[in-house]
Amino acid sequence: MRIQSLSVDQALRSLNSTADGLTAAEAARRLAEYGPNRVEKVGGEHLLLRFAREFTHFFALVLWVAAALAFVAAHFQPGEGMGRLGVAIVGVILINGLFSFWQEYKAERAVAALRRLLPPQVTVRRDGGVGLLAAEALVPGDIVLFAEGDLVPADCRVIEAFGLRVNAATVTGESLPRAHDAAPSAEEALPFARNVLLAGTAVVSGQAHAVVFATGMRTEFGRIAHLTQAAGEARSPLQREIARLSRLVAALACGVGIAFFFVGQALGMPFWANLLFAIGIIVANVPEGLAPTVTLALALATQRMARRNALVRHLPAVEALGAATVICCDKTGTLTQNRMAVRRLWVAGESVATDTLGGRADASGALRVLAANATLCHNLEPPARAGGEPRGDPMEVALAAFGAGLGGAPAGACRVDEIPFDSDRKRMSVLCDTAAGRMLYCKGAPETVLPLCTGVLGRNGVEALDDALRTRLAAAEEAMTGAGLRVLAFAHRGLAHGPGVDAGAAGKPVAAALECALVLAALVGLEDPPRPQVPAAVARCSAAGIRVVMVTGDHPHTAAAIAREIGLVQGAAPLVVSGDELRRMSPTQLQLALDAPEILFARVAAEQKMRIVEALRRKGEVVAVTGDGVNDAPALKVADIGIAMGIAGTDVAKAAADLILLDDNFATIVDAIEEGRAVFDNIRKFLTYILSSNIPEIVPYLAFVLFRIPLPLTIIQILAVDLGTDMLPALALALGAEKPDPEVMRRPPRRRDERLLSWGLVARAYLFLGVFEAVAAMVVFFIVLGAGGWRYGELPAATDPRYLQATTACLLTIVLMQVMNLFLCRHPLRPVLGSGLAPNRLLLAGVAAELALTLVVVYTPAGNWLFGTAPVGAEVWLYALPFALAMGAAEEGRKSWARHASRRQRPGDRR
């Protein structure tokens, strides 16, 4: 039987405990049986294994084989530079592995954060006495004493309560503290039972005694911790695509290299020359700079996003957010401000919004009485520092601030006594001495305050509270509740000067005698208001084709009202699914429900949020999840991208998230999405750029085998292009120094199955731009080689100055063609001059660095020795210029044709 449905005596008996607590011996026995009250860490893969994996994946294995072959070749045929090549390839593997490990490495701080939310010591009753005990030593059956400000260390069943209110937002997602009592509860869901205190929640006001019924990983808190740790890490779309691309390119490189090795053998080439050829084909096809460049691109994108108040914890999250199709958004603290505010009043016979009170006449004095009541009737502590907010229940903080804004209490008014709030009365009252006499101010739930009222402050003074007026009040309360507001009634009465409250003492009136014949001043509706920027952000998400789904632990009425206010819901009848309804849904029913055009989830638990995310991912959506509480952590972790609040968010949520909003502003997500989409576009530009140089790197080897000519480009020179001269310009494209395309937030998210390496990109890089570069490189190579007296059929020595100058000319031509290609790749459709140069100074810096590095390779002794080059005359640079201009003109023509074709597409078609 559920413990929340048992009476106090039944609950104690079920745990073999008493109101005086356990004996020390029995507590020690239970501690040995149940273990410490702490969150245990789920075992994971060892850090060294994760590190080693970065050097043993398929992409790395291909390069290891190439390096090994180079070292073998250096042993059997020294003096050909194969040893230096092997060292260079090993360096590539190490660079890639270290960057990838840094990218993948994820410090698991969720468990430490969870532990910080549990108190180190608690007040416990054992052996009939009361004392402090380490929270880890708690066992089921212990009796814990709670006071205002205490954190709850374990799941407990309340056995006594005095004005107890608990903030459970971090576990259940509710925006308001709830009253708790010891009475049996019919609530099926344990987290929402009024007599249950959950580990990780906080006592806002009142006192309580409670019996522990679950500790450690058996608590709701521990179950969330287990879900957070055990949930599989969702790989981002970019991670999946880079892995696929790496396997594809590596397999292609190996296949082509092996195939041409056998071709060379069939043509009678010497074994070592043929092996050199095969290694060259593999190295030329493998984009060695892909992994470090993508990693650096994402890293610098995170810096730009941080300037826009979005802190990225995991690099792939940058691009994943750009691919998001659905945002599952928590309400409290994400869409709303996570603070209560008075939004509406029923006062002097009419319903008014608080923002219209400024010019309102208050002939009856109802607002003045309300101001005094709200300012005096509370249990707030003074601010911790000058200028700060009072401490206590957020609702009372909001009411006191509202009362002060209306003028506050009368001068000289002071409290003399109090009738405290409790869960049965659902109201509190204070007695105050004022210049007009002693007053009783009362506030509480309308259903407990209105029956005590006999009059209402109207425009013409006190009016009798007859049936007609009660009907109007009920309608006003229902309208506020339907709008998602928390409604309180404020009433008062004048008293003769005399003693205070003391039920039963001689000569002193009892509380019941004071709380009668009250005069109603107002009904007050409070809510956690939306953030001002949220409606515009929701509209931008809609324009970008991104669906926003609210998933909250709050009441359905409140969720629907906020959703309508921010524009998330516009239809007359959105689908609102409660946690109880969700619990009864099968996976198929849930996926079908998610097809509704407008859907909200309310009163959901932690594993249910995870179910919603998993259902959306099964539907092919790329899911982002926002949240700030402990209850959000599992969903944050299994989503494609988890987004936590930086200010109001718990450490647990931040540790489980991929991205943290430093300003807790939902609108910042939209800026981050724009950056994420731009990153994907920029990486595509980078791929076009680096893959274009693969063709002029492969063609020399094909010509070497098929036409028996000197090798136009050595393997070490290929690495000089891929990891040297090309790297900085490629980074200028991939790092997103370009401003995002103005259309990037006006098009729908790309499909989940859309490939980074599309056929259009391959055709443009390999069959168009790459062909131009290959022709130019081979022509210039033969011009320089022929000028040195070479005749067809001759195979000069590797150290022949004529041959070294010719390979250098081939290398120079590829570099200069890539300079032109850099500007051509800035945009797939816009012309070079239309893109401009000024916005991207990094691009110009990359070109300058590329040319400077080329000069070092060509004109310094160290560069000549390392890369097998030789100085060439200025005329060699000019040989390549016409080819670069021709490639630029041809590409501009292709772009013009593509722009016209794009305009002819139907609206909504994708390029």
DSSP β-bridge partners for residue 344: 353, 525
Residue 789's region, left for phi above 0, alpha for psi from -120 to 50, else beta, is left
DSSP β-bridge partners for residue 486: 526
How far is the CA of 519 from the CAs of 360, 366, 383, in angstroms? Answer: 21, 10, 32
DSSP β-bridge partners for residue 155: 214
Which class for 539: exposed (0-12), middle (13-18), buried (19 or more C-beta within 10 A)? middle
Contact 343, 527 (CB under 8 A): yes
Please report the DSSP string for 240-270 in residue order: HHHHHHHHHHHHHHHHHHHHHHHHHHHTT--
d(CA 381, CA 388): 11
Cβ neighbours, 10 Å, residue 757: 18
Contact 357, 407 (CB under 8 A): no
Instruction: From 36, 31, 217, select the one nearest 135 (Cα to Cα).
Output: 36
Q: Which helix (H) or strand (E) holds 879?
A: helix 874-903
Instruction: From 810, 757, 751, select the one nearest 620 (Cα to Cα).
Output: 751
Q: What is the CA radius of gyration of the chain?
A: 36
- Label residues 324-339 b or e (16+ Cβ within 10 Å = b): bbbbbbbbbbbbbbbb
Cβ neighbours, 10 Å, residue 258: 13
Cβ neighbours, 10 Å, residue 855: 11
Contact 519, 493 (CB under 8 A): yes
Contact 327, 547 (CB under 8 A): yes
d(CA 224, CA 190): 14
Enter the tokens of residue 537: 């952000």
Q: Which helix (H) or strand (E) holds 865?
A: helix 861-867
Residues 6+ apart with CB under 8 A from 331: 173, 175, 528, 550, 552, 554, 558, 559, 562
How far is the CA of 403 from the CAs of 190, 353, 415, in angstroms? Answer: 36, 15, 16
d(CA 160, CA 182): 6
d(CA 623, CA 640): 5
Contact 492, 441 (CB under 8 A): yes
Residues 6+ apart with CB under 8 A from 618: 587, 591
Catalytic residue, chosen from 150, 155, 181, 330, is: 330
Asked whether the CA dihedral 397, 401, 406, 410 is positive or negative, the reply is: positive
Contact 207, 166 (CB under 8 A): no
What are the helix (H) ranges across 267-408? 271-285, 290-307, 316-322, 366-376, 394-405
d(CA 826, CA 821): 9
Asked whether the CA dihedral 752, 756, 757, 763 is positive or negative, the reply is: positive
d(CA 467, CA 34): 59
Collapsed DSSP state (helix, strand, coil) of residue 523: strand
Residue type, 647: I
Contact 224, 171 (CB under 8 A): yes
330 is catalytic: yes
Contact 4, 195 (CB under 8 A): yes
**How many helices and strands in the chain, by DSSP H and E?**
35, 24
Instruction: Find the largest Cα–Cα distance for the chain.
Output: 127
Known catalytic residues?
A: 330
